[in-house]
Amino acid sequence: MVNVSSSAIDDLKSTIRGQLLHPGDASFDQARSIWNAMIDRHPAMILRCAGAADVRRGVAFARDNGLPLAIRGGGHNIGGSALCDDGLVLDLSSMRSVRIDPAAKRAYVEPGATLHDFDHEAQAFGLATPLGINSTTGVAGLTLGGGFGWLSRKYGMTIDNLLSADIVTADGELLHVSADAHEDLFWAIRGGGGNFGVVTQFEFQLHPVGPLVYGGLVVLPIEQAKDALIKYRADERPDELAVWAVARLAPPLPFLPPEVHGKPVIVFAMCYCGPLENGPSVVEPVRGYGTPLGEHLGPMPYVAWQQAFDPLLTPGARNYWKSHNLAGIDDGMIDALLQAIANLPSPQCEIFFGQIGAQTQRVPVAATAYSSRDTQYAMNVHGRWDDAGDDERCIAWSRAFFDAAAPFALGSVYVNFMTQEEGGRVADAYGPNYERLVAVKGRYDPHNLFRCNQNIRPAA
């Protein structure tokens, strides 16, 4: 534990607008609890920032007192990088402002905002930008790692829609970064995670979407999965349509017969953001992948679809993920998938293929720190369970499928899906852009103050 003088702490308290919490304070344990119940860390103090001035003070305080520093946004990071032991946590979750300029199609977003906050404001004007697929996800962490979701095939990665940002660097400066200002830093934060500073505001490009989109779910028995996935991978679909494939035990969805609940299924989840009247014909090929156990398709509010999978990612469970980027879905990958689903260690575990491609692949590799532009599908193993006694079994299952899938993968990985012990894959996450990121890190954070993350170490 690093000792900090009481006078230094008093000085910090006197210069912030937010709240400084210590162990023993009534709300401290709640403030250090995060989404993934496997992560249990004990910070020395938590600064609940009220604005950029508090962020600057917190960064300077951690730096000057030699404290580990963790940054907490508004959502849930699998690796638990929102917390550190015996250090300072800058909690940005109360900085949730989202301001929309409908005429310019711009969104100005604070780092504590969730996808729900963003979508709620933007959809009031029939506007959106590509974000993730859970409304409880934090905009900041999602964006800094790259960001993709239902709209990405049409409008690109989240970072492809980031126009500028305000960022507090390790020296306590507040910089405005864009294509015309501090271009190297702007390049690095588009995929490089929280390695370069604390973003206090994001500016996004918005697009006309909704308020209604066409989509939903088609659920097939697992016995039909192989034929269905072969058809799925061969399907030519418009940029406006994203179809994800999920293998798991059937949840108790109201449109599925009760006898199907808890049985292994393959689910095709889809969102079409083109003209509503074209929806039925555009998704029709998906209905032909097999004989559905049930389906639920039609027009729905975009904000409702963004919340459809929230019940599968509620806080308090134990979570362990393993991920690969894929250019396609090989027969060997399908065989490995079926083997894994036949041996599920917990009813909450699932494996998904998140289809991106299209517009995400049309951006040059060197344009942003995120380099995996050849990814057609982001594959993720969602290990999820409730009892700590099941840790070993569930983690082993996740790793076994990850290993079996490796021969059919690109070798790269999406940084936001990496767990805490996967620091050795950081170079894989950035590929040809890694050395340039190391150079930018050396310029803006030479002493690696921002290291509670998937860390890019400065060369020095």
> For 399-431, how does the pLDDT look when each residue is reduced to its tens digit (9 = 90+)?
999 999 999 999 999 999 999 999 999 999 999
Domain count across the chain: 3
- Tell me the pLDDT tens digit for each residue of 99-130: 999 999 999 999 999 999 999 999 999 999 99
In this prediction, residue 460 carries a pLDDT of 72
CA distances, 56 to each of 12, 26, 146, 171, 174 (Å) = 11, 26, 25, 9, 8
Over 70: is that where the pLDDT of 281 sits?
Answer: yes
For the beta sheet containing 98-101, the strands, ordered from the edge strand earlier in sequence to the opposite edge, are 98-101, 106-109, 198-205, 162-168, 174-178
Instruction: Decide which of 91, 121, 155 is a domain's last residue.
Output: 91
- Per-residue pLDDT reduced to its tens digit, 47-79: 999 999 999 999 999 999 999 999 999 999 999
Percent of the chain with pLDDT over 90: 99
In our burial notation (b when 16+ CB lie closer than 10 A, e otherwise), range 66-84 reads ebbbbbbbbbbbbbbbbbb
Model pLDDT, residue 245: 98
Give the burial string for 223-236 (b: 16+ CB within 10 Å, else e): ebbbebbeebbeee
Residue 258 sits in the same domain as residue 364: yes
Task: Please tell me whether residues 138 and 82 are part of one structural domain.
Answer: no
Residues 243 and 321 in one domain: yes
Tell whether 263 and 399 lie within a shared domain. yes
CATH number for the domain including 126? Answer: 3.30.465.10
Task: Report d(CA 159, CA 147) in Å as an integer.
Answer: 7
Which DSSP state fits 315? Answer: T
What is the per-residue DSSP string for 390-437? GHHHHHHHHHHHHHHHGGGS-S---GGG--TT-GGGHHHHHGGGHHHH
Convert the pLDDT of each residue in 348-366 to its tens digit.
999 999 999 999 999 999 9
Q: Same structural domain for residues 242 and 195?
A: no
Cα–Cα distance, 228 to 261 (Å, whole number): 20
CATH number at 309 reads: 3.40.462.20
Decide if pLDDT at 2 tops 80: no
pTM here?
Answer: 0.97
Residues 59 and 193 in one domain: no
Residue 452 lies in a domain: no
Q: What is the DSSP string of 6-59?
A: HHHHHHHHHT-SSEEE-TTSTTHHHHT--S-TT-----SEEEE--SHHHHHHHH
Q: What spatial distance separates the first Cα and last Cα of the chain, rounded to whole Å?
A: 25
Q: Is residue 272's pLDDT more than 90?
A: yes
DSSP per residue over 254-293, as a string? TTS-GGGTTSEEEEEEEEE-S-GGGHHHHHHHHHTTS--S
> Is residue 201, in this structure, part of any structural domain at all?
yes
Determine the 3-state secondary structure of 208 from DSSP.
strand
CA torsion 398-399-405-407 (nearest 10°) is 170
Q: Is 241 in the same domain as 255? A: yes
Does residue 182 sit in the same domain as residue 264?
Answer: no
Q: Average the pLDDT over 392-397 and give the result.
A: 98
Which H or E element spans position 232? helix 225-234
Please tell me whether residues 135 and 258 are part of one structural domain: no
Q: Assess if residue 242 is contained within a domain.
A: yes
Q: What's the CA gap between 403 and 406, in Å, rounded?
A: 5
Asked whether residue 424 is assigned to any structural domain, the reply reads: no
In-domain check, residue 179: yes
Q: Is residue 219 located within the same domain as residue 108?
A: no
| φ, ψ of residue 447 in degrees (nearest 5) | -100, 10
**Cα(151)–Cα(272) distance, integer angstroms:** 8
Q: Comparing C-alpha atoms, which of 219, 207, 216, 239 is closest to residue 299? A: 216
Greatest extent of the chain over all pairs of C-alpha atoms, in Å: 70
**Neighbour count for residue 153 (Cβ, 10 Å):** 25
Orientation of helix 331-341 relative to helix 225-234, angle to 10°: 140
Q: In whole angstroms, what is the distance from residue 149 CA to residue 133 CA?
A: 6
pLDDT in tens, 175-198: 999 999 999 999 999 999 999 999
Strands 294-301 and 318-326 turn out to be unpaired
Whether 456 is in a domain gets the answer no
Residues 31 and 159 in one domain: no
Q: 1 falls in which pLDDT band (50, 70, 90)?
A: low
CATH number of the domain that residue 22 is part of? 3.30.43.10
Q: Given its phi and psi angles, is residue 210 left (phi above 0), alpha (psi -120 to 50 degrees) or beta?
A: left
Strands (E) in 98-240, as ranges, are 98-101, 106-109, 127-128, 162-168, 174-178, 198-205, 207-208, 212-221
CA–CA dist 45, 22 (Å, integer): 5
In a domain, residue 271? The reply is: yes
Domain boundaries, position 403: 212-417
Average pLDDT, the chain: 97
- 441 pLDDT above the threshold of 60: yes
Structure tokens at 328: 């396609």
Residue with tokens 């709240």: 19
153: in domain: yes
Q: Are 49 and 111 in the same domain? A: no
Residue 197 CA to residue 194 CA, distance in Å, equals 6
